[in-house]
Structure 1
Amino acid sequence: MYSNIPRSEEYQHRLLEFIRQEYGISAAVLAPAKRGYYGETWRLDATDSSYFLKLVYPAAHKAVYERSFSLIQHLCDHGIDFISRIVKTKDDDLSTRFDGAILGVFDWIDGENRETDATKIPEYQMLAKVYAVPSCGVPIRREDFSGKSADTFFEQWNVLDNIQIHSLLEKHRAKLEQRAKRLKYFAELCQGDTADFFITHGDAGGNLIVNGDRYFIVDWDTPILAPPERDAWVMCSRDWARDAFSKALCQNGIRHTLRLERLAYYCYHFFFFYLTAYLDGFTQTDTMREIEEYIDGWIEGSIQYADTNSQS
C-alpha cells in the first residue's frame, strides 16, 4: 500500500543521503519498486550494483519486520541462495531506522513476480530446502493454532466507520460466522501437537520472482515455525499439487505426510487473515468489489476440499 504514496524530492534526497551515510552506498537512481504490500519499496541503482529498499511504517508491522532479518541471515548462512541477501550497514547491523520506519537494504533480484501452476514445482522444491534448515537459535514465533485471525477480523469489522463495507459484510454474516466456528473447531484439533514444525514462509507463491530458469522467494517478513501445511494449503484441492508438495518433501529428506486437519486450519485461518488485510487497506483500493469477489472466490475450493476430507 505504502509504495503508492507519492514521496517528495526532499524525502527521496534525505533517504539517499541516509543510505550513503549508513551503508556507504552512493546512489545514481532511486525509483519506486512495485513489490510489497505493507512496505514502502524502492529500487536503488548505484554505480556497479542495484539494491532493494523496504521501509515499514505501520506500528503493527514494524516489530514483525524487524524480527525477520535474523531469520533471513540464518537462512543465507545455511546456504539458501534463492532469497534476498541482506546488505548490512557500515556498523554491521542487519537493519536500521529512517524517518520512523524500519529500513532494510537487500541485493536487488531481477525478474517478474509470477504465480502459475508451472511455478509450483520449483516453489515447493525451494520451500522443502528451507524446511531442511535447522531452526535452533533463531528468534521465530511458533504456531499455536489459536484461531485468532477470526477474532481479529470481527474486531476490525466492529470499529469500521464505512457504512458500505458494513452492509456488504452484514450480507455475508451467516457465512462469516460459520467459518469462524470452523476455524475454532480445527484449531482445537491441531492444538498441542508440535510434531514436524519447520521454518515456513506463509505466502511463498505470492512472493515468487522468476528470472529465466531461476526462481527466488522474497518477502520473509512473517516466517513462523509451523508445519508444512502452512505453505501447502493454497493448492490443497489439486491432486497434482499435493503430490508435488509431498514429492519435494521426500526429495529433501523431510518425512512428513500432509494432514487434513492442519490444511483445514490454515484454509480458514488465511481466509480471515486476508479479509482483515482488505479492511486495513479499504481507503486505498477498490475494496468493495475485492471483498465481494474474495468471500466467494478463489479460496473456496481449498476450504471445500479441506472440509470434505477432514474429520468433522
Structure 2
Amino acid sequence: MSVIILTELEEGQIKKTSLEAIYYGSKVAEMIGVEAVSLAIGEAEAGDLGVAGAYGANSVMHAGGQELKDANIVAYADILTAAATQVGAKVIVTPKSSLADAVVARTAGALKAGVAGNVTDLPDLSNGFEVTRSVFTGKAFAKTSLSSDVKILAIKKNAITPVTTDATATVSEFTAPVSDIAGKAKVTDTMKATGTVSLPEADLVVSGGRGLKGPEHWQPLLDLADALGATTACSKPVSDLDWRPHHEHVGQTGVKIAPNLYIACGISGAIQHLAGVNSSKVIVVINTDPEAPFFKAADYGIVGDAFEVLPKLTAAVKALK
C-alpha cells in the first residue's frame, strides 16, 4: 500500500504546487505507515523528477510520452486510476488546480472515492479520517470526515510549507492503458503567457484596476513587477475593457490565486475580486480613496496616487537588490 500523489509538470519540471502536495502526501504516508509515491504524467527527465525525494517521496512513477505532453484529462484520469489500483493506494493526494480538479472527478468516480478539496492541514486520525478545508473563498474552515475506502485530498496552494532534505527519489517508467474515449479528447491548441510565472503558480503578483485610467498608463506597474520578479494581474473591468489580456483577470470569475504577496493598485476591492485573491498571505493596497473596501482586507495600505507610489516602490526594491 502507498499514498500516491498526482504530480503536475510544466516544461519538464515539477510545479511548486505539486511539490507542496508531495510533501503533504509524504507526511500522510508517515502517519498511516506506508510509502509515498509521486505519479508524474508528461514529458520530463528522470533527473528532474528525482527532486520529489527531497520533498518526501519514496519513489516516482513516470508516465511519459509525446502523447501525454498536453493535459488530456481523460488519459490522465485513466493513468491515475491505474496507478492507484496497482499500488493499493487508499489515499490519493493532488494539488488544487483546474487540471487536477478535472482529473480527480473522473478518478473518484472510477474508484468510488470520497473527495475533499482545498485541504489546509494534515488529517486527524484520532476518530476516523477528518481533514480541515478552506471554504467560502477562504473566509471559513470546515471539518470534513471521509468514510470511503479510497480518499482523495486536494491541497490548497501555500497552505503547506515543505521542509526539504537532500534525498533523491528513484524514478521508474509507468505505462497504463487508457480508454478509447481518451483518443476522442484532443488538445488542439495551447496558448500560454510568456516571460512570467503563471498566475496560479506565482508567489508575487502585482495587479491593476481601473484606477490606472487606461492601458497606456500601465508602465509603472510593469516596472514594479519587473523589479520584484512578479507576475502581473488585473481586475475584471480591466480585462473586459481589453486594457490587459483576459488570462490576467483575477477574481471570483477569473483566476483564483494564493501568492505570498499581492499588491493591488487602483482596485476598489469589490467582493467578487476579493473572492479570488483573499488567500494571499500578504495583501498590499494602493488607492487614492481611503474608504475603498479593499483596505479592510489589506495587511498594508497606502493611501496615495499609484503613479506617484509605484515609482518610489520600484526604486526602493532596486536599491535593496
TM range (shorter): under 0.3
Structure with the bigger percentage of strand: 2
Relative contact order, higher structure (CA 8 A, sep 6+)? 1
TM-score by length of structure 1 reads: 0.27
